Structures are given as structure tokens and as C-alpha cells.
Structure 1
Amino acid sequence: MDTLANLRAFLATVRGGNFSEAARQLDTVPSVVAKRVGHLEWTLGARLFERSSRRVTLTEAGHKFHARARALVSDFDDIASELKRDQDALDGHIRLRAPTSLTVLYLADILAAFQRRHERLTLEVALLDRSANPAEEGFDISVSGRADSYEGVVDEPLCPLRQVVCAAPGYLARRPAPRHPRDLADHDCLVFNPTGHSWHFNSASGPISVDVPARLGANDNYVLYASARAGNGIAVLPTYVARRALADGSLVALLEDHPLQDVWLKALIPARKRALPRMELLLAWLRDHLGGTPPWERSGDGA
């Protein structure tokens, strides 16, 4: 049997959770999927699934094999696509993950313009705010404001990502504004769960990190923004979310003598995909539209 077909059967079974769903995805019958998975297990000399009457679950060996198998099939599809593509027009598929609020406010328009310019490129965009290795999760590129780096993944800086500590005037009328980061321990804080409860500052005497109590935890900045504007506590927000509220006074910047440590928006690209022409094209497009001063920091930007 074709090893590639066996790998595809394995991956479809992982996605579907049983041979019947995998068969539906592959447009075949469950017995063929089961036979292909069995042949793959025989080839590897390891059991990949625990089987029950209704579901299959990955064994420890199956978990270890899964990410590598997905990468192998993805690499094959990339090579096949490159060999088949028309030399006069760039085509192919890009699977991208990006932060929710940034995409809704800015990246969606940037990506729409990119796809309008390159009609033969297809995109799949997933909005996820947690940190993850794009190579292991099957993405071609991950746009992230996190500091995390991964083996086998290239970090490409895009633009500074300025953040601000802020609260509503109503909250500050009830509670005195913090004068030093350590004062945050006595405040209601609104925490972005993916980055945790530690907030990191710079000062004249060096970096400062404080663990803050969370009145609210969320994995989306707009939830924190709404809560901060309602007067529920102090939040760290990116300026692309908070800038209008800061301008109209519904949020007030705090601790300006203790700026938050620098954060950069970056593109994470699996090293094996970095040189693909479609990835070079998208990366250049993102740098053109985000590089230097990002659009939300430019005067007159209407977003």
C-alpha cells in the first residue's frame, strides 16, 4: 500500500476520532481506512490507536508520531504544489493563525487586500490567542505578540506592539491610582490569560516584574477593554485596542514613569516553509503594511 495514503488515513482518523468519519473525509469506506492504519502500524512496529466500538484514541506512540506525520504530509503537499504551479502565476494555500482583536481591527483588511492582489492564492485564517508552535499545529505562519520561540521555527519581526496600563476614571475615583508597579497588588486587575498574571515594567533602576491579582481573566483583549471601560479594574491593553478610549478620556494611562517592557509583533514560520515563494510574498506584504510605524499608531488612521 501507498505509505502516503496510509499517513493520510492516520491523520484523518486523528481529526475524525473514528474510522467512519475519516472515511467520510477521504471519500472512501471505513474498512479501507482501518486497513491503511493497520498497515502503517505494521510498518512502524507500533500501535498508534486504542480502538473501541465507537472511537479510537491515540496511544503514547501515536501522539509522538502525529506531529511528525502531519509535517511529512504537509511537506509533500508543498513540494507537489510547487512542482505543479504555473510558472507565470503564484498559487498555493497558506494556513495562518493570528490574534483575534488585532485581526478584526487591522489584519483582516490587510489579508483581504493581499488576496485580492494574488487571486490564485488561497488562505485559511484561524483566530487564536494562545501561544503554540505553528509547525506542530499545522500552520504555515503564526502572527503573534508573544515572546515565545520554538525550535525549527523562524521568528520574523514585523513591528513594535506598544501596550499601556490603563483604567477608567470611574475606577480611579474609587481607588487611588497606583504610583509604582508594586501598588498593583492592592488593585483589581484585568488579566490577559495567555500572558499570565505577571506584568513586566522598565524603570530607571532596571526591570520590574509584579504578580497581579485577577478580578477578571480573559483570552481576548476586547473583553478586558470592555471591563476596563466599565470601571471594573486596571488592564494592560495594546494601543490598537485602547487608543480611542485613551483619546476620548474613557480610559486613563497609568504608571507612565514605569513603561511596560517592549513587545514586538512577529511572524513565526516553520523553517522548512520559510523559503516558499508564497511565504516570501505574504511576509513582504505584512512588513509593508505593518513595518515601521504600525497603522494604529499613525495619525489620521481611521480604524
Structure 2
Amino acid sequence: MDAITQLRTFTTVVACGGFSEAARQMAVVPSVVAKRIRQLEATVGARLFDRTTRTVRLTEAGEKLHARAGVLVASFEDLVQSVERDASKLVGHLRIATPTTLTTVRLGPLFNAFLRRHDGITMEISLVDHSTNPAERDYDLAISGRPASYEGVVEIPLCPVDTVLCAAPGYLARHGRPRHPQALTEHACLVFKPSGRAWHFRSARGGISVDIPPRLVADDNLTLRDAALSELGIAALPSYVARPALEAGTLETVLDDFPLQETWFKAYVPRRKQHVARVAALVDWLAGHLRPDVPPAG
């Protein structure tokens, strides 16, 4: 039995005025309290209590020990709390590769909120719109919505991303609204370059893939959104990019009965960094907040 536990039991007995009440306070049986006191008495080489059937009184040695025992126990508990606080305090530098549009629309506020919560963290953010192996580039994590697999890198799903097909009302008024994915070959389409020119749809009869003849190709979804708003064609946009314009009525969804295949944003973390506290904390923070219908943390 450790000395601090014995001292804590001793001070509790004094405060409670008896072994039975001290046992209730400490959630143990009275015999455990008695055993701890006997062990403490053996350690100090003196009897600490005079006990009768009704009272428990400190001996002279007990009075002397009690004068300092409370301070010792309190100091030890303060020390433990201080060590626990230091152990839980995140410190160090984080290097992150992340897509431009997602960072502009969603991740920026989340990174800022994480830094406000952890003042021992510094961060370097690189805007990267292509597949990146974080182990080769010495990133702590890379965030991407593109399928990838790297040796020595762990994939951690963060959130699903719904992609919606949409166009400006003016474009649809002039060119009509497609009723089937195959009809897109007769429309001007605005294509996100990293996803390729094939759009993949779901239907009650199975998957449908259509090779799209693009009017505009860009590697930035905000550019494609602006082109759609300018009535240049039909765009496939992440819901978090399209939502404000859809709610404002400046864009409208098309082919609602043929949703595009769902994709996921994932964190790619080098295996050797997976259990680094600051890396794991950031991944948990993003996974908890980076969902389509959850506003960024402030």
C-alpha cells in the first residue's frame, strides 16, 4: 500500500471522526481503513489513534503527523493534476496538405478553432489539389477526396461528400432540363478536372456512367460554380459548394432521380505518425466537425 493512500486515509479518518464514516466516504469497507492505518503506524513506528468503542482520538504522534499530512496529500494531488495537465496539453508543429476549395469553404474555420483551443500548437497549411503521399512529403496528414493508397499511410474517413448536378435557371430555360444522364452529351458541361470526364450515377437499375463532352474544365470547384452561375452549363459540384446558390435559387439541381456516386474526404496519415497526440487530436477534431450539415466550429 503506498504512503500517499495511507496518509489520505489517515486524514479522512480524522476529518470524519471515525473509521466507519471514513470508510463510507472512501467507498471501502472499514477493515480496509483499519489495515491502512496499521500500515501507516508501522511505517512511522508509533500509534496514531486511541480508540474506544465510541471515540477515536489522535495520540501525540497522531497530532504531530496530522499537522503536516494534509499539506503533503494536497501537494501530491496538485502535483498529479499538474502532470496530467501537461500530459494532455498538445504541443508541436503540424504540417498539413489540404484541397484549396475545401479549405476556403470549410477547413479554414476548423483549423482556426483548433489553434485557439491548443495554444501550444503551430501549423503549416499547404493547399494541394492533387493526390499527395504525406509520408514522402513529410506531411503529418493530407486531406483528399480522391481515392488513393500509399504504402505506410493510414486512411481515416472524415466525412461523405454529396455531389449535386446543377445549373442556372437561365441556362435551363434556354437549353432545357435533361431527363436522363445520357442526355448530358447534348449539353454544355462544366467538369472538375481531377474527377475526369466520366460522371457516374446511381439509379434503381444500377450504375450509369456517361462520358461528358466538357465546355469548361477546371481544377477548382469555385471556378466551376461561378461558371454555372454565369449560365455556361451544367456542373457537378460538392454540396458544400453548391448549397448557398441552391438556397438562393441562383442554381437549380437537375437529374434528382439519378444521384451522382458519393465520395469521401479522408485523412491520409503516415503510419509512424498515427499515434502522435497532436496528429490524432486534429484528425478527431476534423472527423467530429467536418460533416456536410454541421457548421464550422467557432
TM-score (structure 2 length as normaliser): 0.68
Question: Is the CA contact (8 Å cut-off) linking 2:109 and 2:297 kept in structure 1?
Answer: no
- Tell me the residue number matched to 2:137: 137
Counterpart Cα distance in 1 of 2:214 and 2:93 = 41
- Tell me the residue number matched to 1:267: 267
5+ residue gaps, structure 1, are: 1-85
SS in 1 for 2:269: strand
- Larger mean Cα displacement after TM superposition, 251-260 or 148-157: 148-157
Please say if 1:90 is aligned against 2:90. Answer: yes
Find the partner of 2:293 among 281, 284, 297: 297
Question: Is the CA contact (8 Å cut-off) linking 1:130 and 1:219 kept in structure 2?
Answer: no
- Tell me the residue number matched to 2:230: 230
- Tell me the residue number matched to 1:190: 190
- Tell me the residue number matched to 2:208: 208
Percent of pairs with identical residues: 51
Instruction: Please give the per-residue CA displacement for 1:74-95, whole angstroms capped at 9, x wherever unaligned.
Output: xxxxxxxxxxxx7563311111
- Larger mean Cα displacement after TM superposition, 129-138 or 227-236: 129-138
Question: Is the CA contact (8 Å cut-off) linking 1:90 and 1:120 kept in structure 2?
Answer: yes
Counterpart Cα distance in 2 of 1:217 and 1:137 = 28
SS in 2 for 1:131: coil
Counterpart Cα distance in 2 of 1:266 and 1:189 = 27
Counterpart Cα distance in 1 of 2:263 and 2:155 = 13
What amino acid maps onto 1:137 in structure 2? R
Q: Decide whether aligned partners of structure 1 residues 179 and 122 sit closer, same or farther in structure 2, where only a CA change above 3 A counts.
A: same
Q: Decide whether aligned partners of structure 1 residues 185 and 167 sit closer, same or farther in structure 2, where only a CA change above 3 A counts.
A: same
CA-CA distance at 1:141 after TM superposition:
0.7
Counterpart Cα distance in 2 of 1:183 and 1:138 = 45
Counterpart Cα distance in 2 of 1:137 and 1:180 = 43
- Tell me the residue number matched to 1:127: 127
Instruction: Please give the per-residue CA displacement for 1:154-175, whole angstroms capped at 9, x wherever unaligned.
Output: 1111111111001111111121
Question: Is the CA contact (8 Å cut-off) linking 1:169 and 1:251 kept in structure 2?
Answer: yes
Over the residues paired in the alignment, what is the CA RMSD in angstroms?
1.9
- Larger mean Cα displacement after TM superposition, 243-252 or 134-143: 134-143
- Tell me the residue number matched to 2:160: 160
What amino acid maps onto 2:283 in structure 1? L
CA-CA distance at 1:136 after TM superposition:
2.0
Counterpart Cα distance in 2 of 1:136 and 1:208 = 36
- Tell me the residue number matched to 2:67: none
CA-CA distance at 1:149 after TM superposition:
2.4
What amino acid maps onto 2:242 in structure 1? A
Counterpart Cα distance in 1 of 2:184 and 2:266 = 29
**Structure 1 runs (4+) greater than 6 angstroms displaced:** 300-303
CA-CA distance at 1:255 after TM superposition:
0.8
Counterpart Cα distance in 1 of 2:256 and 2:201 = 10
CA-CA distance at 1:147 after TM superposition:
2.1
Which aligned pairs between 1:53-72 and structure 2 lie closer than 5 A?
A: none
Q: Decide whether aligned partners of structure 1 residues 88 and 161 sit closer, same or farther in structure 2, where only a CA change above 3 A counts.
A: closer
Between the two proteins, the alignment pairs up a number of residues equal to 213
Counterpart Cα distance in 1 of 2:131 and 2:201 = 21
Question: Is the CA contact (8 Å cut-off) linking 1:131 and 1:194 kept in structure 2?
Answer: no
CA-CA distance at 1:266 after TM superposition:
1.2
- Larger mean Cα displacement after TM superposition, 149-158 or 107-116: 149-158
Counterpart Cα distance in 2 of 1:278 and 1:121 = 8
SS in 1 for 2:166: strand
